[in-house]
Structure 1
Amino acid sequence: TNYHGTDTFTYTVTDGTATSTPITVTLTIAAVNDAPTATTGLTGSGAEDTPLTGTLTGTDIDGDTLTYALSGQATHGTVTINPDGTWTYTPTTNYHGTDTFTYTVTDGALISTPVTVTLTVAAVNDAPVGSNTAVTAVEDTTTGGTLTATDPDGDTLTYTLGNQASHGTVTINPDGTWTYTPTTNYHGTDTFTYTVTDG
């Protein structure tokens, strides 16, 4: 299979009594370009929110120079492939799990069948983000509410007081509920800060 070049065989002929001198037949087999093959089973792995890189490979029985190209884009990120087969995958923000893309390789004339590369993106804990809150209160009256925050990982959140108010006293419970008692007869603007943790 895939041989090209020169080959020979010999034959004789006989009349039943005498046999001829062996005769050589020379065969010339012309080369035919064969399509390259992309390597199957390639994988990549990395962490959430971090680009993954790697190098694609392929084979060509004719020994031609190979060029690589993206065939099917990833679902949860963006892949770029350079002609030499080096690639970069940038996952969507906060995505973790499995993703895939497909690629082909060409020898300049024929293109391989597309092959799938499987990527594994490991989860990384993301910090929660608190929300600014504005409340209108009445002089000499305790007021309160519930703080809010978001966490991309869906973790249980715990709230704590950061900087105490300047003109009153703030109490914050771990679940984010809070109360503010102003100093007697104070009216105007006051502030406090809080932090939130996912544990």
Structure 2
Amino acid sequence: MTYTPVAGWNGTDVFTYQVADLDGQTAQADVTVTVTPADSGAPVAAADAATTAEDTPAAVAVLANDTVVDPPATVSLLVAPAHGAAAVQADGSIVYTPATNWFGEDAFTYQVADLDGQVASAAVSVTVTPVDDGPPVPVDDAATVPVDTAAIIAVLANDAVVDGVASVTAGTPANGTAVANADGTITYTPAAGYVGADTFTYQVTDTDGQSASGTVSITVTSP
């Protein structure tokens, strides 16, 4: 008697057979068959890509292009993204949430395991596109500077620039010079020997190209 399991199935099966003698008498018995799983090979994980808008989570069906011959598949996070968070869902998908107000290129790595404990991993690349969060909102500044002394003024410290600063430019004061620095500060230098009030404007431009201006009021004091 030959038993043949259904293709791809493993587990316990039972069938009954009957035997008859030459006198026509019969008897029956059960046969219990244990079909052990065969190693069908490790999973094959394929890389994925996703695009989402700034501040918007994205669900990535990472198993959709993977091959898992011995299911069920178990998904886990292997390497976390640098600019957000990734959470594995009950259905094996992964929800990526970018950091607040961040946009750019990010990535994370996941691992898939099959019923036999064999694993494979793949990377998911994520493109987060920018969203216009509105123009910069500069707040006027004031500084006191000793005569014949340069001062560095952190004009952005009290400003709101949600989309990130692309550039800062400085206007020309009447009684000195103002130079914008690479870090967004402005160096004010009063004219030689000058004591009194001075002002200049500055402009901040965000990464969306939107600009706004603020005013810096300077008091140059005598020794």
Compute the TM-score of the two structures, normalised by the length of structure 2: 0.47
114, 117, 120: which is aligned to 1:113? 120
CA-atom RMSD, angstroms? 3.5
Which structure 1 residue ranges, 5 or more long, are not aligned?
Answer: 6-28, 136-142, 160-175, 180-199
| Letter matched to residue 211 of structure 2 | L
Q: CA 1:146–1:47 in 2, change beyond 3 Å: closer, same or farther?
A: farther
- Aligned residue for 1:193? none
Greater fraction strand: 2
Which structure 2 residue ranges, 5 or more long, are not aligned?
Answer: 1-6, 10-34, 144-196, 218-223
Once the two structures are superposed, what CA deviation does each residue of 1:27-69 show, in whole Å capped at 9, x if it has no partner? Answer: xx9643345424313111011222222222132223x211211
- Secondary structure of the 1:105 match is strand
- Structure 1 distance, partners of 2:116, 2:47, is 25
Once the two structures are superposed, what CA deviation does each residue of 1:124-158 show, in whole Å capped at 9, x if it has no partner? Answer: 233313326579xxxxxxx7745668665274623
Say if 1:75 and 1:100, in contact at 8 Å, map to a contact too. yes
Say if 2:58 and 2:95, in contact at 8 Å, map to a contact too. yes
- Secondary structure of the 1:130 match is coil
- Structure 2 distance, partners of 1:100, 1:67, is 20
Q: CA deviation at 1:122?
A: 1.1
Say if 1:36 and 1:105, in contact at 8 Å, map to a contact too. no
- Aligned residue for 2:176? none
Say if 2:204 and 2:212, in contact at 8 Å, map to a contact too. no
60, 77, 83: which is aligned to 1:76? 83
Q: CA 1:30–1:158 in 2, change beyond 3 Å: closer, same or farther?
A: closer
Task: State yes or no: 1:51 paired with 2:57.
Answer: yes
- Structure 1 distance, partners of 2:46, 2:126, is 13
- Structure 2 distance, partners of 1:39, 1:74, is 18
- Secondary structure of the 1:40 match is coil
Once the two structures are superposed, what CA deviation does each residue of 1:73-119 show, in whole Å capped at 9, x if it has no partner? Answer: 01111111124222211112332221111111122441422111111
- Aligned residue for 1:32? 38
Once the two structures are superposed, what CA deviation does each residue of 1:1-24 show, in whole Å capped at 9, x if it has no partner? Answer: xx989xxxxxxxxxxxxxxxxxxx
